[in-house]
Amino acid sequence: MYQFSYADIQSTSVSDAKERERDLLTRSIDMLSAAAAIGPDSMEAVEALHFTNRVWTAFVEDLGSSENALPKELRANLISIGLWLLREAEDIRQGRTNNFEGLIEVSQIIRDGIQ
């Protein structure tokens, strides 16, 4: 029979959550990179922007939750970054820009900062 302490389970859960967040960001980055290579009017761009929007909307909602354990200032900064990413994605979708690089670079920085 297995016996786990609450701390072990909680530590594993946090570790698993961070791994899922990194995986989601990596998938978003990969999709955005493919879309950038093909063009903003491609089906790949539509799918990449939709996926990125869903990921960052979920992140922003989680960061805004009082149950989120991150420090308040860090949460506020990440929410600001998330809102910027959502605006940039919308600008690409609306044809006001075709700059995927900003989305990709900022997402890579956030992903690489998840520890």
**Domain ranges, ordered by start, for the chain:** 21-113
Q: What would the two tokens of residue 58 be?
A: 């979920």
Q: What is the pLDDT of residue 10?
A: 45
Q: What is the pLDDT of residue 8?
A: 43
Q: What is the pLDDT of residue 12?
A: 55
Please, are residues 25 and 113 in contact by the beta-carbon 8 Å criterion?
no
Report the share of the chain in percent with pLDDT over 90. 83
Q: What is the pLDDT of residue 2?
A: 46
Rounded Cα–Cα distance for residues 49 and 67 (Å):
28
Please, are residues 30 and 104 in contact by the beta-carbon 8 Å criterion?
no
Looking at this protein, which amino acid is placed at residue 45?
A: A
Please, are residues 88 and 102 in contact by the beta-carbon 8 Å criterion?
yes
Q: What would the two tokens of residue 68 be?
A: 């989120």
- pLDDT for 12-35, tens place per residue? 587 888 999 999 999 999 999 999
Residues of the chain with pLDDT under 70: 1-12
Q: What is the pLDDT of residue 115?
A: 82
